[in-house]
Structure 1
Amino acid sequence: MTTTRHLDASRPELRRIGTAELATALRRGWADFLATPTQLMFLCVLYPVIGLVAATLAAGGEVMHLFYPMAAGFALVGPIAALGLYEISRRREAGLPASWMNVFDVLKSPALPGIVALALLLVVLFLAWLLAADAIYAATLGTLPAQPGQDMTTLLFSTEEGRRMILLGNGVGFLFAVVVLVLTVVSFPMLLDRDGGVAQAVGTSLRAVALNPMPMALWGLIVAVLLLLGSLPLFIGLAVVLPVLGHATWHLYRLVVVR
């Protein structure tokens, strides 16, 4: 069965939303996840990546300070991982058969060049965040004389340099997260839904945030909190949190952007 996508270059109309729409998006995202579970797929992807990162950092102690920035920074490229989930939600909404195999249908999208370009931008932002985090460490804890057996956690909270690193690191990380939210909150789903180009998709995302600043800020907070909670039990919860947020983001797009 063929699927229908919009090929529309016109400027999409936007709606104002509130907290009720955020709850609706999450509820629909949860329903999509229950209908098409993908947690095993995410576990198969998450744990090799996390294991590789952990092994690399353990082997090179000089970059251990980048473990937290790297783990937190994966949220910056989260929209890329969610692309297949948007496709599943799109198919279910259209009344078409949907399974975890449909995540690969993204590769057939007429907007694939634009999707790749936007994905590369997120990768660049992720790398820029790691460079910023490394610079912050060098300017704070990195100025302290090295001592064998130093515990970084103790240094973070017991020294002025550590507290400054926490403040600067979280502040700069917050700015990176805001940039990604503003650029992608509706742009990736929109590219899958209607091939109007990257400029239109990103422009629509910017307009959506400008029209709904408080709901979008709350959405960003919800995403951050759920990702944190999902990470706490050895990242296991992310196998559920990531798919639900991915599906919910599709429905948020539908609630904001008029067809």
Structure 2
Amino acid sequence: MVQTIGNPLSWIAQAFGGSAQGISTGVQELGGAEDGQVQIRDIDLSHLKEALSKGRADFLALRTDVIFIVVIYPIVGLMLTWFALNNQVLYLLFPLVSGFALLGPVAAVGLYEMSRRREQRVKTGWGDGFRVVTSPSIFPILVLGGFLAAIFFVWMICAHFIYGLTLGPGTPDSISGFLQDALTTFPGWMMILVGSGVGFVFAAVVLAISFVSFPLLVDRSVGLPVAVVTSLNIAKRNPRTVAAWGAIVVALLSIGVITLFVGLIFVLPILGHATWHLYRQAVVPLSDAS
């Protein structure tokens, strides 16, 4: 039979149309259809290095297709920066930018699917990153993504109050004035100290619950509770390795941000693909589980 290739818009329309039934089924998938407990393994720093290497290989193999998907994130970052600079919320610029670390696991869901398909030696293109919307697991993924979005919202509220209790309540007039107050005054130091501490707590919570939960939901029908518990168990069993991964994520995202978000075009896909391979190292495949 001769196969034809439809245009991207028609493919996406079909995908989202078919996802309606998938979402209906996905409501039932919230609890999971797979029986048995997910088995996990110990991971160390060598596994992080291997995951990053494989993530880079996936990025190079799928570079054109991946960039087509992730180019939107630098654009969003620039729009958030413009909003902060033009709406008298300059003091929220750093919390907004640092929110990339909280929402990154959601942004990378399509990349997990692309790595999964490439792992299976299936021809993979940019459109495959959207196939996750037709998966029965889309509902648990959306619920968990909504939870991370709620955490981001609470973080922004906390950042607002921290500023109000230190350098506020007035708004800064300029970037230079804000930086001078933040770096050379006691209230500014308190804002940085308290803000960094609170931000660390938010980041640690997100890391623990999303370390492997999104890739696991993409790969298997385990349900949201099992996916989150599995991620927490891995973090509890490998605290140093998970903490090191968190530090790597923050460092690479920081590089992506300070390059005026252009670096995110490369950083996000590498981290996304690497997260998939780290999941493969931390969770025993269903076929190998005893």
* 2:260 corresponding residue in structure 1: 234
Q: 2:54 aligns with which of 6, 17, 28?
A: 28
* 1:55 corresponding residue in structure 2: 82
The verdict on how the C-alpha distance between 1:22 and 1:161 changes in structure 2, with shifts beyond 3 A counting, is: same
* 2:152 corresponding residue in structure 1: 126
Q: Give 1:151 deviation, angstroms.
A: 0.4
Specify every segment of 5 or more residues in structure 1 that has no aligned partner in the other structure, as ranges: 1-5
Which range moved further: 147-156 or 215-224?
A: 147-156
Q: For the residues of structure 2 that align with 1:56 and 1:10, how far apart are their CA atoms?
A: 48
Q: Does 1:156 align with 2:193?
A: no
The TM-score, its normalising length taken from structure 2, stands at: 0.83
* 1:116 corresponding residue in structure 2: 142
The superposition leaves residues 158-200 of structure 1 with CA deviations (integer Å, 9 ceiling, x where unpaired) of: 1100000000111111110000000000000000111110000
* 1:3 corresponding residue in structure 2: none
Q: 1:77 aligns with which of 97, 103, 108?
A: 103
* 1:13 corresponding residue in structure 2: 39
Equivalent residue pairs, number: 251
RMSD: 1.7
* 1:200 corresponding residue in structure 2: 226
Q: Does 1:39 align with 2:70?
A: no
Q: For the residues of structure 1 that align with 2:252 and 2:171, how far apart are their CA atoms?
A: 36
Q: Give 1:48 deviation, angstroms.
A: 3.1
3-state DSSP of counterpart to 2:168: helix
Q: Give 1:12 deviation, angstroms.
A: 1.0
Q: Give 1:40 deviation, angstroms.
A: 3.9
* 1:256 corresponding residue in structure 2: 282
Q: For the residues of structure 2 that align with 1:204 and 1:160, how far apart are their CA atoms?
A: 42
Contact 2:172 2:178 in 1 (8 A): no
The verdict on how the C-alpha distance between 1:124 and 1:146 changes in structure 2, with shifts beyond 3 A counting, is: closer
Contact 1:7 1:194 in 2 (8 A): no
Q: Give 1:110 deviation, angstroms.
A: 1.3
The TM-score, its normalising length taken from structure 1, stands at: 0.93
Q: 2:128 aligns with which of 102, 125, 136?
A: 102
Q: Give 1:90 deviation, angstroms.
A: 0.4
Q: For the residues of structure 2 that align with 1:51 and 1:225, how far apart are their CA atoms?
A: 19
| Paired amino acid for 2:246 | G
Q: For the residues of structure 2 that align with 1:158 and 1:189, how far apart are their CA atoms?
A: 44
| Paired amino acid for 2:83 | T
Q: For the residues of structure 1 that align with 2:157 and 2:241, how far apart are their CA atoms?
A: 31
Q: Give 1:88 deviation, angstroms.
A: 0.3
Specify every segment of 5 or more residues in structure 2 that has no aligned partner in the other structure, as ranges: 1-31, 286-290
Q: For the residues of structure 2 that align with 1:123 and 1:170, how far apart are their CA atoms?
A: 19
The verdict on how the C-alpha distance between 1:19 and 1:65 changes in structure 2, with shifts beyond 3 A counting, is: same
Taking every aligned residue pair, what percent have the same amino acid on both sides? 42
Q: For the residues of structure 2 that align with 1:126 and 1:245, how far apart are their CA atoms?
A: 20
Q: Give 1:53 deviation, angstroms.
A: 1.8
Q: 2:197 aligns with which of 171, 188, 195?
A: 171
3-state DSSP of counterpart to 1:96: coil
Q: For the residues of structure 2 that align with 1:247 and 1:142, how far apart are their CA atoms?
A: 41
Q: For the residues of structure 2 that align with 1:115 and 1:41, how far apart are their CA atoms?
A: 18
